[in-house]
Amino acid sequence: MATETPSKNHGWLVASSGLGINLALGILYTWSMFKAAIEKDFGWKGDQLNDPYALCCLVFAFAMILAGKCQDKFGPRVTASIGGLLVGAGMVLISTSNSYSTWLLGFGVLVGIGIGFGYSSTTPPALKWFPPAKTGLIAGIVVAGFGLAPIYLAPTSQYLLSHFGLKQSMLIFGLAFTVIVIGLAQMLKNPPVGYVTSPQNSSTTKTAVVASAPGEMLRSPMFYLLWLIYFIGAGAGLMVISSVSGMAKKSMGVNAFIAVAVMAIGNAGGRIIAGILSDKIGRRWTLMLVLAVQAALMFIAIPVTASKETTPMLIVLLATFIGFNYGANLALFPSLAKDFWGLKSFGMNYGILFTAWGVGGFVLSRLQQMLFTASGNYQSSFTVAGGFLLGGAALALLIRKPAETKI
């Protein structure tokens, strides 16, 4: 018993540090707060307002492949530190200019790569310290930080933008995130070679998963099914998240940041609750439930956002539930990657699967901005998202259990 306590305690330290890093990296989810300031201060119009965010999502996702390989080879501490430096550099760069191309490079590319390196180094080491029966729970806790970030970043952004302006606010964020991410990165480490999780918990695992290299994973039809479902679930959620502040301003005015912050509670809660539920009833059924409910919420949102009589409370509740179901994807898919392909190459394997999140965010958030520019409302975006999500829920029925998958 004496030898188990330090390892167990260090596992929770790693998970807590990963949670903290993701709290800083969640700046991505506050883009809707910056859009109004960019339009006012820089004069950007239409699709330009979403392009740095959409590019950041895409770069973030594809950077996860390289970052995952770096994490598997050099460990989470080095990888997360690189991420902190890149995020800080990108934020400092955009604080010096109102140029569209500079923001694409700074926020879209540098911040995107930095988030990829930081995010990729948080979940893998945490999962390695805990038994398979806790995979969903631990993944949910670690990634909850990314979802929770707007709770403090939305009001902080509102304060900084009103007191220091857009450029100075980006500089403050950049310097702060560099220090926070690099500091917490020093707490990340993988278990020692030969480490085995507590035997009393491992008995709950029904099957042993053979670790698969990326090449083996890419030869599995299950990978492409999961990629497509992830594209739908994440992309549809990001369509809403990127514009929730604009939606809320119609009825909440300057207090629209409250909707962004409250949605973050749903986003983070969805990650933890879906992770726990998937440990109990299985990933497939949890995922199907999440996508079906999310589709229903999109269709409900059509009359809600169209009505001039909509109360602020209803907007906040709708945003919270949409955030909840979106957040569930971020706990379910790393858990599915571990279930199907093991932990040996988890960093790179999940990085490849995570490209679905980036492509979904880029394509569907760009589509949302185009639809809004053309129509002047959000109804067509919700209709498209709802249709995609119903298709995703149907596809989730095709997911087999890992025990039935030859890897």
Q: Which of 336, 321, 235 is nearest to 284 (CA)?
A: 336
Please report which helix (H) or strand (E) contains residue 404, including its range.
Answer: none
What does the pLDDT profile of the chain (407 residues) look like in tens digits?
444 444 445 888 999 999 999 998 888 777 777 887 888 888 887 778 878 887 888 898 889 899 988 988 889 999 999 999 999 999 999 999 989 999 999 999 999 999 999 998 998 888 888 888 888 888 889 988 887 887 888 788 889 988 999 999 999 999 999 999 999 999 998 888 777 766 544 434 444 556 688 889 999 999 999 999 999 998 888 777 666 555 655 656 656 667 667 777 888 888 899 999 999 999 999 999 999 999 999 998 888 777 777 677 787 788 788 888 988 998 899 999 988 998 888 888 998 999 998 888 778 877 877 887 787 777 888 888 899 999 999 999 999 876 544 43
Report the pLDDT value the prediction gives residue 105, as an integer from 0 to 100: 96
pLDDT at position 3, please? 43
Q: Which of 109, 127, 128 is nearest to 117 (CA)?
A: 109
Tell me the two tokens of residue 45: 């119009």
The whole-number pLDDT of residue 1 equals 41
CB of 149 within 8 A of CB of 26?
Answer: yes
CB atoms within 10 A of CB 296: 16
> Can you give the pLDDT at residue 242?
60
Domain locations in the chain? 4-191+206-404
Q: What's the count of helices (H) and strands (E) in the chain, helices before strands?
A: 17, 0
What's residue 29's pLDDT?
A: 72
Question: Are the beta carbons of 106 and 93 closer than 8 angstroms?
Answer: yes
| CA–CA distance, 250 with 273 (Å, rounded to integer) | 31
On the CB side of 26, CA atoms within 13 Å amount to 31
Rg (CA), the chain: 20
Q: Does the reported pTM lie above 0.85?
A: no
CATH architecture label of 4-191+206-404:
Up-down Bundle (1.20)
